[in-house]
Each structure stands twice: as structure tokens, then as C-alpha cells.
Amino acid sequence: MKVDSPFLVPITNEISLVTIPVEHFRSCRVITNENVSFRMFRDGDRFKAVPQISADERRTAGITEELVFVYRSQVITSANNTSDEAMNVIKNITLELEAQELL
């Protein structure tokens, strides 16, 4: 069976827990930076980041219940959520994975 989308195949190999600052959008145009931990999974060049926060916190941060992305040759080539907030989170995750020497 051929799978066209890298997001349809499960990614189950947990590699790390990363914690990064994530912007949260509060009432009255207040933006706070709060540390969020993500359980990280990897299958080749496909990654899945699962935030360890509540649905309400995910909503204020503008991220989904999981971020799936492809990181190839030091470039994010695709992602399941391409909002500005999600892409900033993914970029910071890749920087942290590089610091942990997992990329």
C-alpha cells in the first residue's frame, strides 16, 4: 500500500522530551511566554511533537494536539499545521533537538 502523505503513517518511536518557550495569547492583547514540554517521536525524517498541556492552553498558544512535520537536510519541508504560531514552535523544537544532538 502506497501512502502519499507523510502525516498518515503513525510515528511511534519516542526519542526525547523537549521544553521550549511558547507564546500564549491572553486577554487584552497580553502575550506571555511560558515553557511547554513536548513528547517527541521520530520515524526517519518525520517527527511528531505532542504538547504536554491542556486543550485550553493549546488554544491560547495556537497549537494543535500534535504537530507533525518533516525535517530534511536542516529544512522543515512540510508540516500538518503551518500557522505562524505552529511554525515558530516547530522551529524552536528543531533547535532544541539539534542542541540535544538528536538531528
3-state secondary structure of 96: helix
What is the per-residue pLDDT for 81?
Answer: 84
d(CA 100, CA 21) in angstroms, rounded, equals: 16
Q: pLDDT 10s per residue in the chain (103 long)?
A: 444 555 556 788 999 999 999 988 877 777 788 899 999 999 999 999 999 999 999 988 888 999 999 999 989 988 888 888 899 999 999 999 999 998 8
Report angle CA 35, 98, 18 to the nearest 5 degrees. 30
What are the residue ranges spanned by the domains of the chain?
Answer: 14-99
Q: Provide the β-strand partners of residue 75.
A: 72
d(CA 69, CA 66) in angstroms, rounded, equals: 10
What is the per-residue pLDDT for 29?
Answer: 78
The b-or-e profile of 42-51 (16+ CB within 10 A means b, else e) is beeebbbbbb
